[in-house]
C-alpha cells in the first residue's frame, strides 16, 4: 500500500497506522498481554452482540452476546443442535460459504466490525484460523500441507523455517521431521489433527478456532491436543467447541454454555445461556439450565 495515502479511504482491514486496533495493526504487544492479568481484564478479541444465524430463513441461533478475551481458551459447550458450531463459524465468516446462511447482529474483532461490507472474508480467515472436527489434511505431503497457507498468502520467504516452526509449535516436529515429504494421510488421526493445527499456525494467525477438534481422536491424542491448546494461549486466542464437559473443564479459562430454546411455534433455536469463568460454570453456575447440564441431568 502507498504509505502516503494512508489517511484517506483505505479499507479498514488493511489500514496502516490507525490508532484504534485495526486488524492490520495487530502486533506482538496485543498478544503478549496475559499471565497474571485476570481474564475479564484482558483485551477483548471478539465482542459479539445479538449474533444470530438463519439457514434458509430458519433461525438456528439468536441473540448471542459474548466477549472473547485474548490469550485464553474459551470453550463453547452445550447439547447437540444448540448452535455452538454455528456460532464459532460466525467468528471467521465460514458461514459465508454455506449457501442460504445469513448472520445478523454484530461481531466486532478488535473493535472492527467483521461483517462490514468492506471487510474481505479472505483477510478475516488469514487472521482467524480454524481447525475442524475431523482432521482434514490435504492429500499431499506433510511439508506441502503446512506450506499451503504461506504459499497462497505470498509468505514464501524462508518457507522451510516457517514449516519447521509451525510443526514445532504444534508439537509434531519430532515425530515427522524425517518424513516431511511423505503423504499426510499416512499419519495417525491425532497426528493429522496436530498437522491441521500446525497448518493453521503457519500463517501466523491471531486466533485459532477449533470445532470439536478431539471428537474423532483417542484419549492419548486428545490429551496431546489439550496440552497444545494450553500452550498456545501465550501467543494466541483459542476458541473451542466441545461436546466433552471434562475437556472444557480441563482447558478452558472461560466457558460459554449454549442450549436449545423451543419457540412458541415449536421451532428449535440455539441460545447462549451463560458465560463465565470455567470454574464457576462447573461449580456454581448462575443459571439452573447450566447447572442441569453440567451435572448431567440434561443433555
Partner 1 sequence: MNAAGRIAQDRAGLAVRESLAGRRNRSVAAGVFLGYLLLSTVVGLIALGVLLVTILQDGLPYLDAMLFTNSPSANPERAGARPAIIASILVAVVLIATALPIAVGTAVYLEEFAPKGNRLIDLIELNIQNLAAVPSIIFGILGLAFLVRGLDLGPVLLAGALILGLQMLPTVIIASREALRAVPDSVRQGGMALGATRWQVVWREVLPAAIPGIATGSILGMSRAIGETAPLLMVGAATFVSFNPGLLTQYTVLPILIYQWIKLPQEMFQGLAAAAIIVLLVILVAMNGFAIWMRNRYERKW
Interaction site with partner 1 (CB under 8 A): 92, 94, 97, 99, 122-127, 129-130, 132, 134, 136-140, 148-149, 151-153, 185, 196, 199-200, 203
Smallest distance from partner 1 to CB 209, Å: 8
Residue 70 or 208 having the CB closest to partner 1: 208
> CA 71: distance to chain centroid?
12
Q: On the CB side of 19, how many CA atoms lie within 13 Å of its CA? A: 0
How far is residue 20's CA from residue 17's CA, in Å, rounded to a whole number? 9
Phi, then psi, of 48 in degrees rounded to 5:
-105, 130
Instruction: Give min distance, CB of 130 to partner 1, in A.
Output: 4
Please identify, using beta-carbon distances, which residue of 33 and 58 lies nearer to partner 1: 58
- Secondary structure (3-state) at 64: strand
Q: Which is nearer to partner 1, 124 or 214 (CB)?
A: 124
Tell me how far, at minimum, the Cβ of 51 lies from partner 1, in Å.
19
Cross-strand bridge partners of residue 173: none
Taking the complex as a whole, the smallest distance from the CB of residue 49 to partner 1 amounts, in Å, to 24
The phi and psi torsions of 8 (rounded to 5 degrees) equal -90, -150
Measured from the CB atom, the residue of 153 and 230 that comes closer to partner 1 is 153
Residue 269 phi, psi dihedral angles, 5° rounding: -145, 140
8 Å CB contact between 87 and 53: yes
Q: Phi and psi for 66 in degrees, rounded to 5?
A: -150, 135
Of 37 and 101, the one with the shorter C-beta distance to partner 1 is: 101
CB of 66 to partner 1, least distance (A): 21
Amino acid at each position: 500500500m502507498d504509505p502516503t495515502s494512508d489517511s484517506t479511504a483505505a479499507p479498514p482491514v488493511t489500514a496502516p497506522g490507525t490508532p484504534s486496533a485495526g486488524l492490520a495493526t495487530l502486533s506482538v504487544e496485543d498478544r503478549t498481554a496475559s499471565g497474571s492479568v485476570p481474564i475479564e481484564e484482558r483485551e477483548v478479541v471478539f465482542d459479539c452482540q445479538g449474533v444470530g444465524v438463519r439457514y434458509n430463513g430458519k433461525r438456528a441461533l439468536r441473540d448471542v452476546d459474548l466477549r472473547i478475551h485474548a490469550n485464553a481458551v474459551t470453550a463453547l459447550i452445550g447439547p447437540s443442535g444448540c448452535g455452538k458450531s454455528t456460532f464459532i463459524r460466525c467468528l471467521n465468516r465460514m458461514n459465508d460459504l454455506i449457501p442460504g446462511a445469513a448472520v445478523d447482529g454484530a461481531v466486532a474483532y478488535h473493535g472492527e466490525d467483521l461483517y462490514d461490507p468492506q471487510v474481505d472474508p479472505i483477510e478475516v480467515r488469514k487472521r482467524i484460523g480454524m481447525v475442524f472436527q475431523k482432521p482434514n489434511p490435504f492429500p499431499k505431503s506433510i511439508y506441502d500441507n503446512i506450506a499451503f497457507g504461506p504459499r497462497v498468502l505470498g509468505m514464501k520467504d524462508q518457507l522451510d523455517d516457517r514449516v519447521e516452526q509451525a510443526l514445532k509449535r504444534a508439537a509434531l516436529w519430532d515425530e515427522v521431521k524425517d518424513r516431511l515429504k511423505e503423504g499426510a494421510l499416512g499419519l495417525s488421526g491425532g497426528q493429522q489433527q496436530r498437522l491441521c493445527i500446525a497448518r493453521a499456525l503457519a500463517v501466523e494467525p491471531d486466533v485459532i478456532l477449533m470445532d470439536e477438534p478431539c471428537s474423532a481422536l483417542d484419549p492419548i491424542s486428545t490429551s496431546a491436543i489439550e496440552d497444545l491448546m494450553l500452550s498456545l494461549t501465550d501467543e494466541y486466542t483459542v476458541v473451542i467447541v466441545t461436546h466433552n464437559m471434562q475437556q472444557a473443564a480441563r482447558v478452558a479459562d472461560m466457558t460459554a454454555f449454549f442450549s436449545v430454546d423451543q419457540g412458541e411455534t415449536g421451532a428449535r433455536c440455539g441460545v447462549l445461556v451463560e458465560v463465565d469463568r470455567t470454574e464457576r460454570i462447573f461449580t456454581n453456575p448462575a443459571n439452573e439450565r447450566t447447572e442441569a447440564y453440567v451435572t448431567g441431568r440434561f443433555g
